Amino acid sequence: MDGVRFLQVGDDRSVTDWQRIHNEIVPPDPLTLDEVRERAGRNRLELAYQGDTAVGNSTVRPPTADEGAMVIARVLPAYRHRGIGTRLYQRGLEAARAWADDRPVETVVLASNEDGLAFALARGFVEVERYTLPGATIPYVALQLRG
């Protein structure tokens, strides 16, 4: 894990790096650069770099009237099981808890992402719902942090 640094999304390079990781891990729901920029304006988007290579990203969404704060951590498959996702998640969880008050912290994982689902379950998240977006074939798993 030496050489890992974290950067909040802000400039064009970080927007592009964040988009690339998202689109590789969530291929059924690719985002454009403009969509990433829009998300960066309302959410906390962060990147993890190993040296000069972006290897992971995270999203922290503030709570809404109907939902708790959301934390999503993604790490490219070649860089998993090195603690990078744990650090991204912990950083995101800290921000989410600051926003969430007593409301639950949530996450969502593409059902085909077995590593991501195992990661969330190992950290105390429990499945609350599965849903499939219109036109998609792979469902998402919505989870809430318990405990």
Give the count of beta carbons closer than 10 Å to the beta carbon of residue 86: 16
Residues of the domain holding 140: 4-145
Identify whether the C-beta of residue 63 lies closer than 8 Å to the C-beta of residue 105. no
For the stretch 25-69, pLDDT in tens is: 999 999 999 999 999 999 999 999 999 999 999 999 999 888 899
- Decide if pLDDT at 1 tops 80: no
Range 54-67 burial, b when 16+ CB lie within 10 A, else e? bbbbbbbbbbeeee
- Decide if pLDDT at 102 tops 90: no
Number of domains in the chain: 1
CATH number at residue 123: 3.40.630.30
Candidate from 4-8, 13-17, 54-58, 63-67 with smallest mean pLDDT: 63-67
What's this model's pTM, rounded to 2 decimal places? Answer: 0.92
The gap from C-alpha 117 to its chain's centroid, in whole angstroms, comes to 12
Predicted local distance difference test score (pLDDT) of residue 96 = 93
According to DSSP, residue 66 is labeled S
